[in-house]
Structure 1
Amino acid sequence: MSTLSVLMPFMPSRSEQALPLAALVQHSVAYRLWQGQALVVEPHQTFSHLAASGFRVPVGTGVTLMPFRHPYEAALQARSLALATGHPVVAGYGPGAAVLQRSLLGAPYASPLTAAREYLTVVGGLLAGRRVDHEGRYFSCHVELVPQPGPPVEVGLGVLRPGMARLAGEVADVAITWMTPPRYLREVIVPALEEGARKAGRPVPRLVAMVPLALSAPDRDPVELLLAGNSGHLKLPHYQDMLRRSGIDVDPDDPIASAAAVIAGRAFVTGDGDEVRAVLDEYRAAGVDEIVLNVTGLCRTRGLPTALGELETLLETAAAPAVPSAVPAGGAR
Structure 2
Amino acid sequence: MSHRVGAALEPQGVTLQETLERVDITEEMGADSQWLIQMPGQWESGTVLAALAARTERITLGSAILPLYSRPPVAMASTALTLGELSGGRFVLGLGLGHRDVGEWMVGAGAAPPAVPGMREYLEIVLAAIQKGEADHDGKWFGGHVFYPPTQERHSDLPVYVGTFGPRMLELAGEVADGVILWMCTPSYVRDVVMPALRRGFARRTDGRYPGGAGFEVAALICAAVTPEVEADQTRFGEYLSAYVRVPTYRRLFEASGFGAQIRAGRPDEEMIRGLSAIGGPAESHARMAAYAAEGVTQMLICPAGSAFLDRGRYLDTVRAALA
When the two structures are superposed, what TM-score results if normalisation uses the length of structure 2? 0.87
Contact 2:36 2:45 in 1 (8 A): yes
- Indicate which of 59, 62, 67 corresponds to 2:64: 62
- Indicate which of 222, 230, 237 corresponds to 1:226: 237
- Indicate which of 179, 183, 208 corresponds to 2:188: 183
Aligned mates of 2:144, 2:218 — CA distance in 1: 28
Aligned mates of 1:219, 1:281 — CA distance in 2: 21
- Indicate which of 209, 222, 226 corresponds to 1:211: 222
Counterpart code for 1:276: S
- C-alpha change, 1:304 and 1:218, in structure 2 (3 Å) is closer
Counterpart code for 1:234: V
- Aligned residue number for residue 297 of structure 1: 306
Query: In the alignment, is residue 113 of structure 1 matched against residue 116 of structure 2?
Result: yes
Aligned mates of 2:313, 2:116 — CA distance in 1: 40
- Indicate which of 240, 243, 247 corresponds to 2:251: 240
- C-alpha change, 1:105 and 1:253, in structure 2 (3 Å) is farther
Query: In the alignment, is residue 47 of structure 1 matched against residue 73 of structure 2?
Result: no
Contact 2:37 2:65 in 1 (8 A): yes
Query: 1:26 Cα shift?
Result: 1.9
- C-alpha change, 1:294 and 1:13, in structure 2 (3 Å) is closer
Query: 1:294 Cα shift?
Result: 0.7
Query: 1:10 Cα shift?
Result: 3.4
- C-alpha change, 1:132 and 1:12, in structure 2 (3 Å) is farther
Q: Secondary structure at the match of 1:199?
A: coil
- C-alpha change, 1:145 and 1:297, in structure 2 (3 Å) is farther
Consecutive unaligned residues of structure 2, counting only runs of 5 or more, are none
1:195-206 residue pairs with structure 2 within 5 A? 195-201=200-206, 202-203=209-210, 204=213, 205-206=216-217
- C-alpha change, 1:218 and 1:62, in structure 2 (3 Å) is closer
Consecutive unaligned residues of structure 1, counting only runs of 5 or more, are 317-333
- Indicate which of 145, 148, 153 corresponds to 1:145: 148
- C-alpha change, 1:78 and 1:7, in structure 2 (3 Å) is same
Contact 1:168 1:174 in 2 (8 A): yes
Aligned mates of 1:54, 1:291 — CA distance in 2: 20
- C-alpha change, 1:11 and 1:131, in structure 2 (3 Å) is same
Counterpart code for 1:185: V
- Aligned residue number for residue 10 of structure 1: 11
- C-alpha change, 1:120 and 1:270, in structure 2 (3 Å) is same
Please list the CA deviations of residues 13-64 of structure 1 after superposition, one character each: whole Å capped at 9, or x if unmatched: 7542222222123212310000111433211111211233355631110111
- Aligned residue number for residue 173 of structure 1: 178
Which shifted more, 135-144 or 150-159? 150-159
Across the two proteins, how many residue pairs are aligned to each other?
311
Which shifted more, 22-31 or 5-14? 5-14
Contact 2:94 2:181 in 1 (8 A): yes
Q: Secondary structure at the match of 2:306?
A: helix
Q: Secondary structure at the match of 1:291?
A: strand
Please list the CA deviations of residues 84-113 of structure 1 after superposition, one character each: whole Å capped at 9, or x if unmatched: 12233111111122212432243232x111
- Indicate which of 275, 285, 289 corresponds to 1:280: 289
Aligned mates of 2:15, 2:273 — CA distance in 1: 33
1:123-142 residue pairs with structure 2 within 5 A? 123-142=126-145
C-alpha RMSD of matched pairs (Å): 2.3
Q: Secondary structure at the match of 2:202?
A: helix
Query: 1:130 Cα shift?
Result: 3.7
Flag the structure with more relative contact order, 1 or 2, with Cα contacts below 8 A and sequence separation at least 6.
1
Contact 2:225 2:315 in 1 (8 A): no
Contact 1:160 1:239 in 2 (8 A): no
- C-alpha change, 1:69 and 1:259, in structure 2 (3 Å) is farther
Q: Secondary structure at the match of 1:200?
A: coil
